Amino acid sequence: MKVVIATDKFKGSLSALQAARAMERGVLEADPASQVVTCPMADGGEGTVESVVAATGAEVREEQVEGPLPGQQVKARWAYLPPGTLEGLGPEQSTSGPLGLLAPREATAVIEMAQASGFSLVPPERRDPLVTTTFGTGQVIGAALDAGCRQIVVGVGGSATVDGGTGMARALGYRFLDGRGEEVPQGGGALGLIRSIDTDGKDGRLEGATLLVASDVDNPLVGAEGAAGVYGPQKGASGSDVESLDSGLANLGRLIESGMGVRVLDLPGGGAAGGLGAGLVAFCGAEIVSGVLLVASVVGLQGKVRSADLVLTGEGSYDSQTARGKTPAGVAAIAREAGVPAVIIAGRVVAEADFEPGAGVAVFTVCPGPMGEAEAMENAAELVRIAARRLMTVMGIGAMICKRKEAGGDEKG
């Protein structure tokens, strides 16, 4: 049996590569004759750069930039793909899907905003989207432009921010002014103070660049399903903070529309990364695409799946967000299109998850019984390995039953 393992990270416990290797060990323990192809995946969040580098051999570069907290300095890694790298992916990947929006012969950068402005960079006691900023992400984009990249992919998962991308834009020359013409402070808490956007200092290189926003969600900028309403509390916002942030984002969206002619308030995916999705569209002329489909194209997943007998994918939590652009849903869709069965192995499966995987797709949890979150995360690699082994054992039994029936073994004498 040929098994393709295309899993995302198990957040807080395993990287995508570690999870893939754990699944591989389980598969081979149950069926040593299996041919296993590991293809670590991501959907625009943490691990995107790692997946691209593993698949393409891209050069890893590092920049010291401003972190999400005021005065914080962090080192952000990004991937540099020399001219022609994308050309080697073959005609299907290079001309169709999100990757078809890029010229295969141009130097390309793949950036994770989480590397510069991510949730994991902020200690729990300091999480505050009223002050956190995407300025460092803008600095990394500037570094990519300095390196000659005119194609830039920005993965926007895992953010610590709700600043509508204003920090990113500041790093690229924009100014956000109050009623007296003075710059407002950074962070989401000051969005409501903005009265005008000064574009005079905008980095002119953005005009000749193509930017893609690799997003794992389709939330709009504002409202109950918007950047503040859904994700603000996860980033440390209180109830009153959420109201303030949503109002500020609405103010920013109206100013973008009236002053720049770009409508972002109801843009699907505009609410990604605390509104960075909308900010990249407005301030950099970017286009929002499915992060998982973009990464799948770069790593050539479609071709690998077509020749497989089984696809394994997974993530830490299978829940209501899975269907909104997360890796397992995207991988399952690719497998379904190829007519190959897929199994999602998750750290936990939330009963009320509204994603119906459909025919040919099953969902398994790694936990064999009641187990605390801390215990599960501590033993994640072992639990994933055992779950993959159990799955393959059950499939082996199913294959034996099918062979017996084909041989007439079910007939009674």
DSSP one-letter code for 189 = G
Q: Are 130 and 18 in contact (CB under 8 A)?
A: no
Tell me which of 292, 311, 340 is where a domain ends.
292
Beta-ladder partners of 110:
79, 153
Q: Which strands, in side-by-side order, build the sheet including 342-349?
A: 35-38, 2-5, 310-318, 342-349, 361-365
Give the number of domains in the chain.
Answer: 2
Q: Are 193 and 244 in contact (CB under 8 A)?
A: no
Positive or negative: CA dihedral 259, 261, 265, 267 = negative
276 and 363 housed in the same domain: no
Tell me which of 232, 257, 292 is where a domain ends.
292
pTM of the predicted structure, to 2 decimals: 0.88
pLDDT of residue 46: 87
Phi, psi of 210 (to 5 degrees): -110, 120
| Residue 409: Cβ within 10 Å count | 10
70 and 18 housed in the same domain: no
Tell me which of 259, 292, 325 is where a domain ends.
292
Q: Are 47 and 352 in contact (CB under 8 A)?
A: no
113 and 196 housed in the same domain: yes
pLDDT of residue 408: 75
pLDDT of residue 348: 84
pLDDT of residue 413: 40
- Distance from C-alpha of 157 to C-alpha of 401, rounded to nearest angstrom: 44
- Distance from C-alpha of 45 to C-alpha of 8, rounded to nearest angstrom: 10
Positive or negative: CA dihedral 134, 135, 140, 141 = positive
**What is the residue range of 13's domain?**
2-41+300-406
Q: What is the pLDDT along the chain (413 residues), one digit of tens a residue?
A: 899 999 999 988 999 999 999 999 999 999 999 999 999 999 888 889 998 998 888 999 999 999 999 999 999 999 999 998 887 665 455 555 677 788 888 999 999 999 999 999 999 999 999 999 999 999 999 999 999 999 999 999 899 999 999 999 999 999 999 999 999 999 999 999 999 999 999 999 999 999 999 998 889 999 999 999 999 999 999 999 999 999 999 999 999 999 999 999 999 999 999 999 999 999 999 999 999 988 888 888 988 999 999 999 999 988 877 777 789 989 999 999 999 999 999 988 886 555 566 667 888 888 887 788 888 888 999 999 999 999 999 888 888 888 888 887 655 44
Give per-residue pLDDT as tens, 179-235: 999 999 999 999 999 999 999 999 999 999 999 999 988 899 999 999 999 999 999
Collect all residues with Cβ–Cβ distance below 8 Å to 258 and sequence separation of at least 6: none
Q: What share of the chain is helix, strand, coil (3-state, %, to 5)?
A: 45, 20, 35
208 and 332 housed in the same domain: no
58 and 75 housed in the same domain: yes
- Distance from C-alpha of 204 to C-alpha of 235, rounded to nearest angstrom: 33
316 and 391 housed in the same domain: yes
- Say how far residue 50 (Cα) sits from the centre of its chain: 12
Phi, psi of 6 (to 5 degrees): -125, 75
CATH number of residue 209's parent domain:
3.90.1510.10
Q: Scanning the structure block, which residue is given the tokens 């999870």?
A: 19
361 and 258 housed in the same domain: no
Give per-residue pLDDT as tens, 68-89: 999 999 999 999 999 988 876 6
22 and 129 housed in the same domain: no
Q: Is residue 411 part of a domain?
A: no
Q: Is residue 368 part of a domain?
A: yes
pLDDT of residue 85: 85
Q: Is residue 412 part of a domain?
A: no
162 and 124 housed in the same domain: yes
- Distance from C-alpha of 162 to C-alpha of 146, rounded to nearest angstrom: 27
Q: CA of 58: how far to CAs of 20, 108, 109, 126, 150, in Å? A: 20, 10, 9, 34, 16
pLDDT of residue 360: 76
Q: Are 209 and 147 in contact (CB under 8 A)?
A: no
Residue type, 49: V
Angle at CA of residue 189, ends 120 and 258, nearest 5°: 115
Q: CA of 159: how far to CAs of 25, 36, 39, 45, 273, in Å? A: 32, 33, 24, 8, 5
- Comparing CA positions, the residue from 233, 248, 119, 128 lying closest to residue 184 is 248
CATH number of residue 304's parent domain:
3.40.50.10350
242 and 386 housed in the same domain: no
Q: Are 79 and 29 in contact (CB under 8 A)?
A: no
- Distance from C-alpha of 142 to C-alpha of 274, rounded to nearest angstrom: 20
33 three-state secondary structure? coil
